Amino acid sequence: MTTGPWMHTLVSRLYPLCRSITGDGVRQTLAIVGEHLPLTVHEVPTGTPVLDWTVPQEWNIRDAYVADASGRRVIDFRESNLHVVGYSVPVATRLPLAELREHLHTLPDQPALVPYRTSYYAPTWGFCLAQSTLDSLPDGEYEVCVDSTLADGSLTYAEHVVPGQVEDEVIVSAHVCHPSLANDNLAGIAVAVGLALSLENPYYTYRFVFAPGTIGAITWLARNAQRIDRVRHGIVLACAGDRGSLTYKRSRRGDAPIDQVMEYVLRDRPHEIREFTPYGYDERQYCSPGFDLGVGSLTRTPYAGYPEYHTSGDNPDLVSPESMVDTLEVLREAVAVLDRDRRYVNLSPYGEPQLGRRGLYDSLGGRSDAHDAQLAMLWVLNLADGQHSLLDTARRAGLPFTSVAAAADALLAAGLLKDAP
């Protein structure tokens, strides 16, 4: 079982890397993840059509700074990769402060924090800094350097597959494109790794997708469109480590099995269930109408819902080992339900079958939960009409899913149930 401190260490190790939607930062991130999970890494060349998009040029950066007249770096990429607008084109110039301001981004309402900004599809350059730092800059001329490259290359994403008893798949998706943002990005990666390591002989095949946000998920969908009908369920992980309570966002369908399962496993925890909107993380790609997959999104505090979101305040101190463990435990519970949930047909549906002569009552002797176990058998038999799942039964009966599943196993062994068509 993966521990909270282990996941937090992984977050801290990944935190300094400068990630974007392409480039060596993504490759370095996947290399570290690959130390824990065997990964299949895919490189998709620049210019490749992917649905309505095209894989962009690859961006890499070596250094960037703004220096004052004395040569002192007043904004320094080496201190934080958030200081540079993602996908900034190369620049080497000198500018007066008045002109430089046009390329500077701050958060006046959060003057001590550095914002996260990108410009993926419009060639420009810029720097991000604290408002307090900008206020301290004197007028004068500044040296500006962005030592970056924007050239044909590839988009990188990776998959880890845990084979199941069937080829039908559950996808678990985490984005790997943000730079130093510990909760929005890295906590989701760490929890996904923890979940993958915890799976043993699952019923479904579990496919973990580590891809850049938006363009990465679109690329994955484009390259897997012919086999997308294997995907039965899915979850997008993000903001998985802050101290807020859990939030589940439904799939576009609203009542997909994953929606029902997540609502069930969250029932005894502080949580919020949100309806689907076509805005947020990569659930909006998996749930686009042409695919309409049963994919929801699990976060703690949702997208843009905490003050440190997309700022330098989203650092490893914001992420709690206990919160990541809580997120992981919910996912493991969801996996247990998904993997065992079935529909059955009662083979003795006319009147209540005699359980005693089949030894089913005797098997409960001495159990502290004998009453619940007996009740679970009766509920399973009553709802085994080929239409109700075990989860439907647990919810209606108000019984733990584990009790209902155990009852179904006993009834199957006694020849009283068969799998629904």
Q: So what's the pLDDT on residue 145?
A: 98
Q: Contact 257/282 with Cβ under 8 angstroms?
A: no
Q: Contact 334/202 with Cβ under 8 angstroms?
A: no
pLDDT of 410 above 90: yes
Confidence of residue 126 (pLDDT cuts 50, 70, 90): very high
Other C-beta atoms closer than 10 Å to the C-beta of 52 total 7
Q: Rounded distance, CA 4 to CA 37, Å?
A: 17
DSSP state of 348: S
- 3-class state of residue 75 by DSSP: strand
pLDDT of 367 above 70: no
Average pLDDT of the residues in 134-157: 98
Output b/e per residue, 297-327; b: 16+ Cβ within 10 A: bbbbbbbeebebbbbbbbbbebbbbebbbbb
Q: Contact 294/257 with Cβ under 8 angstroms?
A: yes
Q: Contact 218/355 with Cβ under 8 angstroms?
A: no
Lowest-confidence region among 65-79, 95-109, 235-249, 344-358: 344-358
Ranges of beta strands (E only) in 152-301 are 154-162, 169-175, 205-211, 231-237, 246-249, 271-274, 295-299
Taking the domains of the chain in order of start, what are their residue ranges?
4-56+155-246+264-330, 58-151, 343-419
Q: So what's the pLDDT on residue 13?
A: 98
Q: Which two tokens stand for residue 417?
A: 């149930």
pLDDT of 363 above 70: no
Q: Contact 65/77 with Cβ under 8 angstroms?
A: yes
Q: So what's the pLDDT on residue 369?
A: 64
Q: Rounded distance, CA 313 to CA 188, Å?
A: 17
Q: So what's the pLDDT on residue 357?
A: 84
- 3-class state of residue 193 by DSSP: helix
Please list, in sequence order, all residues whose beta carbon lies within 8 angstroms of the beta carbon of residue 30, skipping any fewer than 6 positions away: 39, 41, 156, 158, 176, 210
Confidence of residue 372 (pLDDT cuts 50, 70, 90): confident
Taking CA 192 as the corner, what is the angle to CA 188 and CA 196, rounded to the nearest 5 degrees?
175
pLDDT, tens digit, 9 for 90 and up, residues 274-307 = 999 999 999 999 999 999 999 999 999 998 999 9
Q: So what's the pLDDT on residue 2?
A: 60
Q: So what's the pLDDT on residue 44?
A: 98
Q: What is the CATH number of domain 343-419?
A: 1.10.10.10
pLDDT of 321 above 70: yes
Whole-number mean pLDDT of the chain?
96
pLDDT of 45 above 70: yes
DSSP state of 301: S
Binding residues for Zn(2+): 178, 184, 310
Binding residues: 178, 184, 310
Distances (CA, A) of 380 to 315, 332, 357, 375, 394: 48, 24, 18, 9, 9
Say which CATH superfamily domain 58-151 falls into.
Domain of unknown function DUF2172 (3.50.30.90)
The reported pTM is 0.95
pLDDT of 90 above 90: yes
- 3-class state of residue 165 by DSSP: coil
Q: Give the right CATH number for 4-56+155-246+264-330 from 3.40.309.10, 3.40.50.300, 3.40.1390.10, 3.40.630.10.
A: 3.40.630.10
Average pLDDT of the residues in 251-273: 97
Q: What values do phi and psi take at 24, rounded to 5?
A: -70, -25
Q: So what's the pLDDT on residue 371?
A: 77
Beta-bridged to residue 236, according to DSSP, are 173, 297
Q: In what order do the strands lie in the sheet with 91-96?
A: 73-76, 58-67, 141-151, 91-96
Give the residue among 204, 236, 228 at the shortest CA–CA distance from 342. Answer: 204
Output b/e per residue, 236-266; b: 16+ Cβ within 10 A: bbbbbbbebebbbbbbbbeebbbbbbbbbbb
- 3-class state of residue 228 by DSSP: helix
Q: Contact 32/337 with Cβ under 8 angstroms?
A: no
* Sequence letter at residue 47: G
